[in-house]
Amino acid sequence: MNLKKFHKHKNWYRKTRGLLMRKYKKDYRLFSGLLASTSPRFQVKRNYSTSLKIYNEYIKNPSKYLKYAIGNKKRYMKQNKILLAHYYNIIRTLSHNFTGSKKLVLSGQKVNSFYNNIIGNYDFVTIDIWIIRYFKIFHKNQLNLSEYKYYSRIIKKLAKKLSMLPCECQAVLWEKQRAIEGKKESNFYQYIETV
């Protein structure tokens, strides 16, 4: 499959960021943190709906919600149908002061890169299962730190060659790999615009 066919997807992160900013205004970084936190092992639709549920409940009474989530970990995880990895990043996101100068850093290379990409830090490279498969790695669904850095460098070199930003190149490769495996185009826009 020709890579040029998928160049239309290069602005995936820029477009997602714009939509999140319009919909969530001052809370767009908070919501982006929740999206990134719930992204591992969740399909796009479930990722978005879980983040939206948490966000809507949280904004009603932030301190009460956070206190409950921290004090009732197992119940909270069960109620939201989330994994342990999701939980810790959700707590980190909900506890973060987005008006301060300290940047939110999420646990996990993929999760932190995804968060940075959707808030406009376009030099990060998000490597998920689809990008791993693009590199013909079918025996694992995540990379260790050195592997992550290695494949990030490859994508950054390819991005430079194609006159793209790293996240733009990754978005193009992501859509190409999904198409190779018979998946339809999938993105947050349809959920952001309709919910």
Boundaries of domain holding 49: 3-194
Q: Which residue has the tokens 């185009």?
A: 185
The residue among 78 and 185 whose pLDDT is bigger is: 78
Contact at 8 Å (CB) between 14 and 188? Answer: no
Residue 186 has pLDDT above 80, yes or no: no
Residue 159 has pLDDT above 60, yes or no: yes
| Confidence (pLDDT) at 144 | 93
Contact at 8 Å (CB) between 135 and 151? Answer: yes
CA–CA separation, 19 and 38 (whole Å) = 19
CA–CA separation, 33 and 118 (whole Å) = 9
Give the orientation angle of helix 84-95 with respect to helix 62-71, to 10 degrees. 150
Q: What's the pLDDT tens digit per position in 22-32?
A: 999 999 999 99
Residue 117 has pLDDT above 80, yes or no: yes
Q: What's the pLDDT tens digit per position in 160-172?
A: 999 999 999 999 9
| Confidence (pLDDT) at 187 | 64
Average pLDDT value for the chain: 93
The proportion of the chain whose per-residue pLDDT surpasses 70, expressed as a percent, equals 95
| Confidence (pLDDT) at 105 | 97
Count of structural domains, the chain: 1
CA–CA separation, 40 and 63 (whole Å) = 26
